[in-house]
A and B are shown apart, each in its own frame.
Chain A
Amino acid sequence: EAGVAQSPRYKIIEKRQSVAFWCNPISGHATLYWYQQILGQGPKLLIQFQNNGVVDDSQLPKDRFSAERLKGVDSTLKIQPAKLEDSAVYLCASRYLTGRTYNEQFFGPGTRLTVL
């Protein structure tokens, strides 16, 4: 079974530039998550999708971050414009949605963003 795919793996940009990250979840996983992991900290949830709808975006800085999952499969996270404090690893995770049994999240390798 293929895992969660993310691209690019690394990105370096200047502050005020724009950047986009792509995630393809495991086939059949209805729930998709984007996390921000700043160096020395645990991952922090930015946004959660169920199919193509947003379930939780309470910690997404909506003035500069946006995310979409138009067809309920792959997803794009965008930052525009980037700030120095956005330097972090952006992790995508997915989860199989079932009625009763709890299933854990599966994580992709992440995209390491450096903002100069």
Chain B
Amino acid sequence: AQSVTQLGSHVSVSEGALVLLRCNYSSSVPPYLFWYVQYPNQGLQLLLKYTTGATLVKGINGFEAEFKKSETSFHLTKPSAHMSDAAEYFCAVSKSAGTYKYIFGTGTRLKVLA
């Protein structure tokens, strides 16, 4: 069975500091991996995805993530935090075949301090 673990339900960073949100997954087959962002009272918006190919994936708003198979990780980073990055971030895993349904992590709420 697939599962996703997001370490740290709340993360605080100063504006301009590095953002690092952690995601580890468990999957018996090659996974597809995603990061979504959710702003208050809104749906989920895709930040980036890994399916195949290059393991360093760049997304919107300056975010990127690296798929590390040996560590079963897909951590999200951004070099310099902006106040507008304050939101909740979800990591999700999907099988690379079948129904492609997502299994989500429990989310990490990012707070950006002025």
Known: A42-B107, A48-B99. A107 touches B90 (CB 8 A): no
A residues contacting the other copy or chain, number (CB 8 A): 24
Interface: A25 (CB within 8 A): no
- Interface size range on B against A: 20 to 34
Contact at B43–A41, with CB atoms within 8 Å? no
Q: Which residues of B sit under 8 angstroms from A104, Cβ to Cβ?
A: 34, 46, 49
- Among B41, B42, B51, B102, the residue within 8 A (CB) of A105 is B102
Contact at A41–B45, with CB atoms within 8 Å? no
Contact at A42–B42, with CB atoms within 8 Å? no
The docked-state distance in angstroms from the alpha carbon of A105 to that of B45 is 9
Q: Which residues of B sit under 8 angstroms from A21, Cβ to Cβ?
A: none
Interface: A14 (CB within 8 A): no
Q: Which residues of A sit under 8 angstroms from B18, Cβ to Cβ?
A: none
Contact at A44–B104, with CB atoms within 8 Å? yes
Restricting to A70-100, which residues have a CB under 8 Å from any CB of B? 91, 93, 95
Q: Which residues of A sit under 8 angstroms from B101, Cβ to Cβ?
A: 33, 45, 48, 56
Q: Which residues of A sit under 8 angstroms from B96, Cβ to Cβ?
A: 102
Contact at A41–B107, with CB atoms within 8 Å? yes
The docked-state distance in angstroms from the alpha carbon of A4 to that of B43 is 10
The docked-state distance in angstroms from the alpha carbon of A106 to that of B44 is 8
**Chain A's nearest CB lies how many Å from the CB of B39?**
10
Interface: B106 (CB within 8 A): yes
- Among A40, A44, A95, A107, the residue within 8 A (CB) of B43 is A107
The docked-state distance in angstroms from the alpha carbon of A109 to that of B39 is 10
The docked-state distance in angstroms from the alpha carbon of A102 to that of B102 is 13
Query: Which single residue of chain A is at the shortest CB-CB distance from B109?
Result: A40
Q: Which residues of A sit under 8 angstroms from B32, Cβ to Cβ?
A: 102
- Among B46, B51, B105, the residue within 8 A (CB) of A42 is B105
A-B contact pairs, 11 of them (CB 8 A): A31-B100, A45-B101, A45-B102, A48-B99, A48-B101, A55-B99, A91-B43, A104-B46, A105-B102, A108-B43, A110-B43
| B interface list, Cβ under 8 A from A | 4, 9, 32, 34, 36, 41-46, 49, 51, 90, 92, 96, 99-102, 104-107
